[in-house]
Amino acid sequence: MSTVSTQLEAARAGTITAEMERVATREGVTPEMIRSEVARGRLVIPANKHHLAGSAATTPTRTWGRGAESGPDDLATGHPGATGPARLWVNQTVTQRWTEITDATHLKGEHAPKRLDPTGIGRMITTKINANIGASPVASSTHDEVEKLQWAQKYGADTLMDLSTGGDLVGCRQAIIDHATIPIGTVPIYSMILGRSIEELSYDVILEEIERQARQGVDYFTIHAGVLREHLPLIERRMTGIVSRGGSLLAKWMIHHGKQNPMYELFDEISAIMRQYDVTYSLGDGLRPGCLADASDPAQLAELSTLGELVARARDAGVQTMVEGPGHVPLDQVGTNMRLEQHVCDDAPFYVLGPLVTDVFPGYDHITSAIGATEAARHGAAMLCYVTPKEHVGLPKAQDVMAGCIAYKIAAHAGDLARGIAGAREWDDDLSRARAALNWPKQFELAFDGDTARALHDEDLEVDTDFCAMCGHDWCSMRISKEIVAFTSGKDTAFQPDRKAMPSPGVSEQGKELLAARGSLPVVEGRHACHSDVSPVASDAALVQDTARGKQPERTA
Ligand code: SF4
């Protein structure tokens, strides 16, 4: 057996791997900082050797890290125009990410696999977000799931979990891995009970499935090894019982067989397989609270204590480890939950689901949970698992994936700002300079989702001028501030618009769809039917718009 098989073991041996170098580039820190954090166990790089290699017959070209075949390629890191420490990968806009995802040099043929671009997860670097997708026995297909993967990558997901419980599980998982440049996680127990009841689950089936998925290239596994028989009586008085699929299945198995959790019993054997491929543990929170009433209760805390023990055992086995967290937590308890995990689990990266801070907004749980996630990030959560508007009510579609990702990009970035991550604020400051200068093209270039922002602007006013439709010319405080000579507001020379007033360049295809869905003015060739010609004078431009929209102009030029 090799003495060094995982990133953790390499880091402990003092070796800086190509993956650590790549993570350092994306985070704007030194490779030694990444190595020391991995060795400490406070940062993980989920990077299955098979996913790193590329799972196609032809291995894709590696363009990053030491020994890169056609690199190094650190293009497009950071927001547009970012320099120095602000070149943070997580601060890329949707347009930048989409360019990268669809880069022909990363694709070898239309359906060819890509390879993993390593990502670091830990509280000393930028906050990451995860998107969950997966076919259910009721809905979706492999094609739909690969499309969701692309939407997730486009809208900011740093990792993705395939939680499929229906359809062609093996084929769907492989297709997702083959098309993903981000780490892929799974919950292997879902596949273990395919074609059998949970009561029929055997030790052999567990280890065979772990091996199969590790060989396929899965980068991290959720293993619910922390739910013990002794914890089950603590569930009896809960309002919503066990809300983790894995946790509830294993509870049923333990009650049926009168035995300890098989994942706990087999933990060392599972670790040995994961070490071989360098699969990272995501120790599952099978007893996470499913409502505010159950938050921070004895069952959750008892499991957390067991997870702390398992973190130590996994690290002893050379396996990188992160820990999953709640769930549904009142806002005032979120910070305490983060600090508790850091203490009990020796600072293993905390990967939290939300948490939702109120239970009464089904249909809007991407918002209720993003509020909790922001607070969690502020207090050191390393990765935020998104929640979509479909949470509690149905299977997310591509649009829900987009909504969830954006909500969680907001949470993660707000957390990075609050934690003072070097370089995080420059993005905000650059956009604010463009906004104050009333430079609309620059503002939309810097916006995370500039297509949406442009479409909403153009819905009311298709001229880029020194006001927008929110307040209009006479009440535009940005314009007034810019005109006050004594103020620096809006006067940064690097952020001035080319001209004071010019026609909008038009909305994108996505923008057209958005406007159509909103029942806005008809769009012709990317512009509203009322689009004006070049209007060098701002008040003339506004006049054209008002007239075209059938309004009585309120002012004269
Ligand atoms: S019109 Fe109002 S919302 Fe629009 S740029 Fe001026 S101050 Fe901002």
What is the C-alpha to C-alpha distance for residues 321 and 46, in angstroms, rounded to an integer? 9
Asked if residue 478 has its Cβ within 6 Å of ligand 1, the reply is: yes
Q: Which of ligand 1's atoms lies nearest the C-alpha of 473?
A: 1
The pairing of strands 128-133 and 159-162 is: parallel
Cα gap 356→472, rounded to integer Å: 38
Q: Kind of pairing, strands 280-283 and 220-223?
A: parallel
pLDDT of 244 higher than 70: yes
> Which residue in 261, 277, 285, 248 sits closest to 206, CA to CA?
261
408, containing H or E segment: helix 398-419
Instruction: Please report which confidence band the pLDDT of residue 110 belongs to, taking 50, 70 and 90 as the band edges.
Output: very low
Is 211 a residue whose pLDDT tops 90? yes
Q: Could you tell me the pLDDT band of residue 545, with boundaries at 50, 70 and 90?
A: low
Helix, strand, coil % in the chain, rounded to nearest 5: 45, 10, 45
d(C-alpha 64, C-alpha 164), whole Å: 31
Least confident range of 29-33, 257-261, 531-535: 531-535
Give the pLDDT confidence of 123-150 residue by residue, as tens digits: 999 999 999 998 877 776 888 888 899 9
Nearest residue by C-alpha to atom 6 in ligand 1:
476
Confidence at residue 553, expressed as pLDDT on a 0 to 100 scale: 47
> Residue 500 in contact with residue 466, Cβ under 8 Å?
yes
Ligand 1 pocket test: pick from 435, 438, 470, 481 the residue with the most ligand atoms within 8 Å of its Cβ.
470
Residue 116 CB–ligand 1 contact under 6 Å: no
What is the 478 CA–ligand 1 centroid distance (Å)? 6
Does residue 486 register a pLDDT over 90?
A: yes
Closest residue by Cα to residue 79 from 450, 440, 467: 450
Least confident of 7-11, 506-510, 526-530: 526-530
- Give the pLDDT confidence score for residue 250 in this predicted structure: 98
pLDDT classification of 57: cutoffs 50, 70, 90: very low
Q: Report the nearest-CA residue for atom 3 of ligand 1.
A: 470
Q: How far is the CA of 138 from the centre of ligand 1 (A)?
A: 47
Atom of ligand 1 lying closest to residue 478 CA: 7
Region 280-289: mean pLDDT is 97
**Residue 395, pLDDT score:** 85
Residue 190's nearest CA partner among 160, 219, 163 is 163
